[in-house]
Every structure is written in structure tokens, then in C-alpha cells.
Amino acid sequence: MPGFELFGDLERQQVNDVLDNGVLMRYGFDGMRNGHWKAKELETALENAFQTNYVQLVSSGTAAVSVALAAAGVGAGDEVIMPTFTFVASFEAIMALGAVPILVDIDDTLALNPESVELAITPKTKAVMVVQMCGSMGDLKALQSICDKHNLLLVEDACQAIGGTYNGKPLGSIGDLGCFSFDFVKTITCGEGGAVITNNKEYYVNADHFSDHGHDHIGNDRGAEAHPILGYNFRISELHAAVGLAQVQRLNEFIGIQRQYLNIFKETLSQVNGVTLRNVPEGGVESGAFFNFFLPDLECTRKVIQGFKEGGIDLCWNYYDNNWHYIRKWDHLKELKSLFPISAEVKEGLKYLETKTFDKSDHYIGRNISCLIKLSWTKEEVQERANKMAQIIKTVLNN
């Protein structure tokens, strides 16, 4: 991660196909295309990769979450349970529909704590959104059971975990809907882009219409198409889809590299006293996009991060003080800093954030270090890096 590190001739060829025929829009202009339909081809390729019936490409991972929820009927006043550890896009996408994000604690998987989810359910709850952060997954068996019990949607945000699997199934394909991001720093990239996947035909048709101004895409005359529903513009372009079409053909190559390097980190760092590896649920296989581990407490975690910086180890983070990924620094959400008036339903629904604390999340995020795994490293560089990290941790913990 990310796929741009290994751009090559295949990506250039796909992009040049689009530039040669001059049609950058995914819909229409049939006669000019010379048979090139990159978005359609990528959707088919992703159906195979994700072992799912339907894929709808959109403009971003954020758009994918909004489109997925809208396709299943989530909207004004509905509550969507989501984790405290994610990217700010998660609550942005929910609020864009007028729905209310209900943040709950995580556990040692770095994903939703099933017990916290159960406690957060109210008559307004419509969906549970598990975010598969940093290449792995939450306890999907427990979360699915909760959703089945309460008749709730299970939505997988697998934007950071493409290639991971649970009981042999690709992450994203297990819930009612799955969401992916193909932005510039993902394992496979389109530059910008995303996808909604589902086995539910109704949700797929809704996503197809909603993401393109409500067009029904029936016939070959775009100007004559009907608009069964209101929609918005969340389309992907042919240029972006072309890059993704090349990258998805290399997904197994990328995942193989990531997992090889992840195992080196795990084998080396697990030997260090005081280091605990992230919990991967039984049946789960990580994508290898990140290596995650825990230290005894926040103080030594901060010292190790500082030691990494001084020792030239980059791309490792403790998210406790991070502005993007953890609730602790999301003041703009807590204080509802918006350019436009927030609806009364959302304002009322978010009042809980004024006093809510997330001690369980603090316990895990405060002790976690997450390290990006680069595709462009060599095996020797990874082992050298792992050895250096282990030595720095030992020095900090023994002082």
C-alpha cells in the first residue's frame, strides 16, 4: 500500500486508451469510444475480485458510503452506529444524508466493539457500519448476529482493507453492502474513486440511479433516460476507472507483497517483551496494508514514536493525537462547525457528544502503533526496518 508505488506500462496503456478515443465520461458517447468502457470493465473485474453480484463505481470512498446508505433507505433522523476510530469521511458521509452518526467504542481488533454496539441501539438505529481499519477486520460474526437480531443493516467500510478475507470471503462482501476507496494512497488506486458492492439487486439499482442524478440508464440515448428517483453526481470518470482497471489486475501481486512483509514485522516484533499484536478474529486474514501492535501504556507509546522518528523510522503513527482518524481531536464534529445550518434532527442526535467519553477506545488507541507497509520496499529493507524497530522498543521499555 499504496498501488501508485508500482505504476507501470499496464496503467499507461489503459489511460492512453481513454485519451486516444477522447471520451472521459463513463456514460454515453457510444459511437466515439471504439469499444472502450473502462468503468464497466472495472465493475466486472471487481465483481470477480470481491465475489459479489453487483458493483457500482463512484467518485470516492466517501461517496461510496453515502451512496450505499442511501441505496438502502437510510436518511433523515436515522441513526448509523460507527466506530470512534476511522477516517472523518465516515461521519461526513452519514451526515450528508441527514442521518446521525452514533460513535461507539472499539476493541483490540481496532474495529467496533460488539458489546458497545448492542448498548447503542435505539428505535432510530437503521444500520451498523463496521470500518475495517488498517488492513484487518472487526468481529464480523458477532456484529452480523447483532444486526440479524435487531433487523439492522450491516455495512462494511473496507476502504483500508481491500484484499483481506474473513472465513474465505473478501472483506466488503459479507455485510448487506460494502464500500471501497481507490484514492491515491490505497492498495489499488484510481487516483480518486470508490465502489459500492452488494448481492442485493434492489440496493444495486438504487446505487446505480442515485449516483448519476437519478438516471435509469435504460436504452442508449442518455438524453431520453428517465429519472425514477432524485439523485446526485457521484460518477467516476473513465480516466480514473482506467487506472483502476490496470491496478485490479495486479491486486493479488500487491496483496502477496504486503502479507509477506507483514509476516516479517509480526515475527520480529512479537519476540519483544511488552509488544502485543492486534487481535485478528478467528477466520480472518489481513490484507497486509498495515502492521499494528500495542505497547503497555500511552506514555511509552509516545516515547517509542519519538524514538522511531529519531531513528529514521517513518510511516508509523499513534492515532491518539491524530486529527483525522480518532474522535479525540474531532472538535469540528463535536462543535458542529458547518458552513450551512445543521438540521434539527442531526443537532439533537449529536448532543451525546457533549458529554460522552470513550474510555475503551482510549485504552486501545493510546497504546497502538500503526505502521504502513510499502510495496516498493525490498524484503531485506523490511527485515532491517523490523530489527531497528524492535531495538528502539526494547530501549524505551527497558529505561
Residue 257: its pLDDT value, please? 98
Are 60 and 181 within 8 A, CB to CB?
yes
CA 110 – CA 291 distance, rounded (Å): 12
- Average pLDDT in the 144-151 region? 98
- Alpha carbons within 13 A on the beta-carbon side of 60: 10
Residue 399: its pLDDT value, please? 86
For the chain, percent of residues with pLDDT exceeding 90: 99
Whether 326 shows a pLDDT value over 90: the answer reads: yes
Residue 73: its pLDDT value, please? 98
Residue 24: its pLDDT value, please? 98
- Average pLDDT in the 223-229 region? 96
* Whether residue 186 lies in the annotated active site: yes
Which of 120, 65, 111 has the alpha carbon at shortest distance from 85? 111
Whether 237 shows a pLDDT value over 90: the answer reads: yes
Residue 48: its pLDDT value, please? 98
pLDDT-based confidence at 118, cuts 50/70/90?
very high
Are 2 and 185 within 8 A, CB to CB?
yes
Hey, how many other C-beta atoms are within 10 angstroms of the C-beta on 123? 5
CA 289 – CA 60 distance, rounded (Å): 19
Query: 84: which 3 cell numbers?
Result: 470512534
Which residue of the set 38, 126, 186, 303 is catalytic?
A: 186
Q: In the chain, what is the straight-line distance between the N-terminal and C-terminal CA atoms, in Å?
A: 34
> Rounded to whole angstroms, what are the CA distances from 181 to 97, 112, 143, 190, 350?
19, 20, 22, 9, 26
pLDDT-based confidence at 216, cuts 50/70/90?
very high
pLDDT digits (tens, 9 = 90+) for 312-321: 999 999 999 9
Residue 217: its pLDDT value, please? 97
Q: Which residue segments constitute the domains of the chain, with CATH numbers given?
A: 3-250 (3.40.640.10), 252-398 (3.90.1150.10)
Residue 340: its pLDDT value, please? 95
Residue 1: its pLDDT value, please? 86
pLDDT-based confidence at 147, cuts 50/70/90?
very high
Whether 16 shows a pLDDT value over 90: the answer reads: yes
Residue 247: its pLDDT value, please? 98
Whether 391 shows a pLDDT value over 90: the answer reads: yes
Residue 29: its pLDDT value, please? 95
pLDDT digits (tens, 9 = 90+) for 187-196: 999 999 999 9
- Average pLDDT in the 135-145 region? 98
> Rounded to whole angstroms, what are the CA distances from 216 to 38, 75, 224?
20, 21, 10
For the chain, percent of residues with pLDDT exceeding 70: 100
Hey, how many other C-beta atoms are within 10 angstroms of the C-beta on 182? 33
Helix (H/G/I), strand (E/B), else coil: 69: helix
- Alpha carbons within 13 A on the beta-carbon side of 135: 26
Residues 6+ apart with CB under 8 A from 106: 83, 84, 85, 112, 113, 360, 361, 364, 365
pLDDT digits (tens, 9 = 90+) for 328-363: 999 999 999 999 999 999 999 999 999 999 999 999
